[in-house]
Amino acid sequence: MDKYAAPFRLAANEDQYGEIRGLGISKITFKLTSPDEHGVLILENTFQTKGGPARHLHYDQDEWFYVIDGEFVFEVGTEKFNLSPGDSLFAPRNIPHVWAYIGEQHYGKILITFLPAGKMESFFREVNKANAMPPQDPELWHKHGMQLLGPPLDVS
């Protein structure tokens, strides 16, 4: 039977698998995963403090961001963007990008969509074991279809 032969509902802050995934400064919940690497992956990333991932690019995934709560800054290629609730941003594959939560409130929340899913679900499952932002290990990123290009944004 097809994994999505029937509708399913997730309550606010709920994960598709009922799991908790920590990334140190934030947590992620899987909202929609794909039965294979050709589908879509949608996750919700909730930040308890400022910061974000290292600068990187995806070889095969386009990425779409939608801000639910808080203020975020993005760099995609050479362009810089400040996003607030309701704003979205598309980052094409093979374009370097980096982003961070910069808000002053107690948390920020963003939806992130990967098209296609590729190896992103396995990447997040692997890195959340340490409850820290993904390490700056080029081999780890490459193994999951990305190139690590530099450190996270300085938001201090």
Note down pLDDT in tens along the chain; length 156 residues. Answer: 356 667 888 998 899 999 989 999 999 999 999 989 999 999 999 999 999 999 999 999 999 999 999 999 999 999 999 999 999 999 999 999 999 999 988 899 999 999 999 999 999 999 998 888 898 999 999 999 999 999 999 998
How far apart are alpha carbons 44 and 68 in whole angstroms? 9
How far apart are alpha carbons 41 and 65 in whole angstroms? 12
Structure tokens at 129: 């074991």
Structure tokens at 32: 């929609």
- CA nearest 67: which of 35, 91, 45? 45
Q: Which domains does the chain have, with CATH numbers?
A: 22-146 (2.60.120.10)
The reply to whether the predicted model has a pTM over 0.85 is: yes
